[in-house]
C-alpha cells in the first residue's frame, strides 16, 4: 500500500509499504477513504524528529471502510463506515471507566512515562503506524472505531477523529460562564472549531491570529477577530474590549511553535542539529517551547479566569510567570482530548438539520495522498491559504 512516511526534518514522502494485517483478536483493518494533516503533524515535520525513525507512517485523523476484524471485535463489521479516534483506548480499564481515554492504562506508553498510545505520533506515544495511508491496522478496535451513517461526504464526520472532540474539550475546559467571553489564540483548524463551538454555546468569542485567510474564515462565521500582525499588544486590545478586565476564559490553540518567540525558536533549531539520542534527552529535560502565545493568554485572561490549553507543548523546563498566574488566580486545564467522551455531544450536530458548527467549511485543500509532501510544506509555511488539508488515498 501507499503511505506517508517521515524521512527527516521537513521531509516526508509517499512510499510503498507492506499492507497491515490482523495481529491481535481486537484488531481491525480499515480501508482509508479520507485522512487529514493535523497541526500536530507539523510538530513532527519541524521539531519532534528526535522521537521518530525514518519510515514511520504519519497521520492520526482517518476514516474509512472496515475491511476485516479480529475475533474479539463485535461492534463493527466489514463494510461499516467508521471514524478512528486519534488516541487508542481499550474502553474498560480504570481510566477508560472514568472517560479519561487519553490516559488508557491498557495502551499507556509506560516505557516513556506517557499517556495512551496515539496513531502516527512518535516513540513517546507508542510508535503506532498512522492513518495517512491506504489501509490502517486499528488496535483496540473492540472499542475505538466510531460508526457513522452513509450518504454524506466524509468531511461531515472526518473531524470526529480529532478536531471536533479536541475543540469541544478545549471549550469545556475553558469553563466559560453562561453568557461570558472567551479569547481563542490561533485560528487553525482547532481554533476555528473552538471559536464556533463556544459561539454556538452562547459565548462572546474573540479570535486571534496573524494569517489573513484564517482571520477571514473566522469572520465568515461571525467571529470577532484581532489581527496579531497589526496589533503589537493583543492582551491590551482585548482588555480594551472587555472593560479593562480581559475575557473570562482563554483557549490556546497554538502550542509549541508560536510566532514571536525568537529565543525558543533558536533553541528548537539548535536541538534539531543534535544527534537524535542527544536531542531527545534535551527535549525531555529542557525548555524548548515558544511561549509567546501562552504568555499572551496569561495576560489576556481576566483575574480568576480560566486558560484551556489544546495546543501541544513539549518542553519540561519552560519558564512561566508563576507570580502573575498566582496573583491573578488563573486556573489552567489541558491535555489530549478524550475523544469518545465527547462524541454523544457532537454527533447530533452532524446528523441533524443544517451544519451549526460549519464543518463543511473547514477544509481548504482536498488532494490525493501522493500530494502529501507538497501539502505538508504549504501547510507548514501557511502558503496557498492552507488551513485544513484532507488527503484522499
266-280 confidence digits (pLDDT tens): 444 444 444 454 444
pLDDT at residue number 314: 72
Confidence of residue 282 (pLDDT cuts 50, 70, 90): very low
Question: What are 127's three cell numbers?
Answer: 510508535
- How many beta carbons lie within 10 A of that of residue 318, not counting itself? 16
Q: Report the distance separating Cα 28 and Cα 78, nearest Å.
A: 9
pLDDT at residue number 34: 98
Partners of 137 in beta bridges:
29
Question: What are 21's three cell numbers?
Answer: 494485517
pLDDT at residue number 350: 97
* 118-140 average pLDDT score: 97
* 281-303 average pLDDT score: 77
Closest CA to 199 of 219, 182, 217, 211: 182
Question: What are 275's three cell numbers?
Answer: 544527534
pLDDT at 150 over 80: yes
Q: What residues contact 106, with CB distance under 8 A and at least 6 apart?
A: 89, 90, 92, 93, 96, 140
* 17-40 average pLDDT score: 97
Query: Which of the two residues, 201 and 321, has the higher pLDDT score?
Result: 201
Q: Which helix (H) or strand (E) holds 163?
A: helix 163-174
User: Worst-scoring range by mean pLDDT, 42-46, 78-82, 324-328?
Assistant: 42-46
Q: Domain 164-334 falls in which CATH fold?
A: Rossmann fold (3.40.50)
Measured CA to CA in angstroms, residue 336 lies from 16, 69, 106, 195, 308 at distances of 31, 27, 16, 18, 12
Q: Report the distance separating Cα 325 and Cα 339, nearest Å.
A: 29
CATH class held by domain 2-147+363-392 = alpha beta
Closest CA to 310 of 165, 208, 119: 165
User: Worst-scoring range by mean pLDDT, 31-45, 199-213, 314-328?
Assistant: 314-328
Backbone angles phi, psi at 62, to 5 degrees: -110, 160
344-393 confidence digits (pLDDT tens): 999 999 998 899 999 999 999 999 999 999 999 999 999 999 999 999 99
pLDDT at residue number 257: 61
Strand 28-37 relative to strand 11-16, pairing = unpaired
* 51-70 average pLDDT score: 97
* 237-266 average pLDDT score: 79
- How many beta carbons lie within 10 A of that of residue 35, not counting itself? 33
Place of cell 529535560: 285
User: Domain extents for the chain?
Assistant: 2-147+363-392, 164-334
Confidence of residue 258 (pLDDT cuts 50, 70, 90): low
Q: What residues contact 354, with CB distance under 8 A and at least 6 apart?
A: none
Strand 224-227 relative to strand 365-368, pairing = unpaired
pLDDT at residue number 366: 98
* 80-92 average pLDDT score: 98
Closest CA to 384 of 393, 372, 392, 374: 374
Query: Which of the two residues, 138 and 50, has the higher pLDDT score?
Result: 138
Is 148:76 a contact under the CB 8 Å cutoff?
no
Closest CA to 131 of 162, 167, 93, 92: 162
pLDDT at residue number 271: 45
User: Worst-scoring range by mean pLDDT, 42-56, 95-109, 124-138?
Assistant: 42-56
Question: What are 277's three cell numbers?
Answer: 539520542
Radius of gyration of the chain (CA): 20
pLDDT at 193 over 80: yes
pLDDT at 259 over 60: no
Decide: helix, strand or coil at residue 240. helix
pLDDT at 264 over 60: no
pLDDT at residue number 190: 96
Backbone angles phi, psi at 353, to 5 degrees: -70, 145
Percent of the chain with pLDDT over 90: 83
Quick check: do 2-147+363-392 and 164-334 share a fold? no
CA quadruple 74, 78, 35, 215: dihedral positive or negative? negative
* 126-136 average pLDDT score: 98
Closest CA to 90 of 71, 61, 116, 128: 116
Question: What are 168's three cell numbers?
Answer: 469541544
pLDDT at 159 over 50: yes
Q: Which helix (H) or strand (E) holds 65?
A: strand 62-69
207-243 confidence digits (pLDDT tens): 999 999 999 999 999 999 999 999 889 999 999 999 9
Instruction: Give the chain's mean pLDDT.
Output: 92
Q: Report the distance separating Cα 127 and Cα 27, nearest Å.
A: 16
pLDDT at residue number 49: 82
Amino acid at each position: 500500500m501507499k503511505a506517508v512516511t517521515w524521512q527527516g526534518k521537513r521531509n516526508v514522502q509517499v512510499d510503498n509499504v507492506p499492507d497491515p494485517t490482523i495481529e491481535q483478536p481486537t484488531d481491525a483493518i480499515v480501508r482509508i477513504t479520507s485522512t487529514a494533516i493535523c497541526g500536530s503533524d507539523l510538530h513532527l515535520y519541524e521539531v519532534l524528529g528526535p522521537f521518530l525513525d525514518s519510515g514511520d507512517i504519519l497521520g492520526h485523523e482517518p476514516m474509512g471502510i472496515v475491511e476485516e476484524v479480529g475475533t474479539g471485535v463485535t461492534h463493527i463489521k466489514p463494510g461499516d463506515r467508521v471514524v478512528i479516534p486519534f488516541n487508542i483506548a481499550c474502553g474498560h480499564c480504570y481510566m477508560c471507566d472514568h472517560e479519561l481515554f487519553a490516559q488508557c492504562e491498557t495502551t499507556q506508553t509506560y516505557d516513556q512515562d506517557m499517556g495512551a498510545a496515539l496513531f502516527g505520533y512518535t516513540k513517546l506515544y507508542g510508535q503506532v503506524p498512522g492513518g495517512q495511508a491506504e489501509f490502517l491496522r486499528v488496535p483496540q478496535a473492540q472499542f475505538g472505531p466510531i460508526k457513522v451513517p452513509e450518504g454524506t461526504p466524509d468531511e461531515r464526520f472526518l473531524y470526529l477523529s480529532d478536531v471536533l472532540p479536541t475543540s469541544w474539550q478545549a471549550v469545556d475546559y475553558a469553563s466559560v460562564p453562561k453568557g461570558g467571553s472567551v479569547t481563542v489564540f490561533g485560528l487553525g483548524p482547532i481554533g476555528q472549531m473552538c471559536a464556533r463551538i463556544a459561539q454556538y454555546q452562547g459565548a462572546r468569542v474573540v479570535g486571534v491570529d496573524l494569517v489573513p485567510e484564517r482571520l477571514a474564515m473566522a469572520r465568515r462565521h461571525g467571529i470577532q477577530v484581532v489581527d496579531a500582525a497589526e496589533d503589537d499588544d493583543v492582551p491590551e486590545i482585548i482588555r480594551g474590549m472587555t472593560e479593562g478586565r480581559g475575557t473570562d476564559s482563554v483557549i490556546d490553540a497554538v502550542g509549541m511553535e508560536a510566532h514571536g518567540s525568537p529565543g525558543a525558536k533558536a533553541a528548537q533549531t539548535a536541538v534539531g542539529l543534535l544527534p537524535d539520542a542527544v536531542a531527545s534527552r534535551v527535549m525531555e529535560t529542557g525548555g524548548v517551547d515558544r511561549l509567546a502565545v501562552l504568555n499572551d493568554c496569561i495576560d489576556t485572561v481576566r483575574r480568576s479566569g480560566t486558560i484551556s490549553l489544546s495546543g501541544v507543548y513539549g518542553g519540561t523546563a519552560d519558564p512561566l510567570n508563576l507570580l502573575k498566574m498566582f496573583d491573578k488566580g488563573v486556573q489552567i486545564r489541558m491535555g489530549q482530548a478524550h475523544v469518545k467522551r465527547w462524541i454523544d455531544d457532537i454527533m447530533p450536530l452532524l446528523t441533524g438539520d443544517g451544519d451549526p458548527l460549519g464543518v463543511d467549511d473547514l477544509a481548504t485543500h482536498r488532494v490525493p495522498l501522493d500530494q502529501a509532501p507538497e501539502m505538508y510544506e504549504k501547510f507548514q509555511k501557511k502558503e496557498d491559504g492552507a488551513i485544513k488539508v484532507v488527503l484522499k488515498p
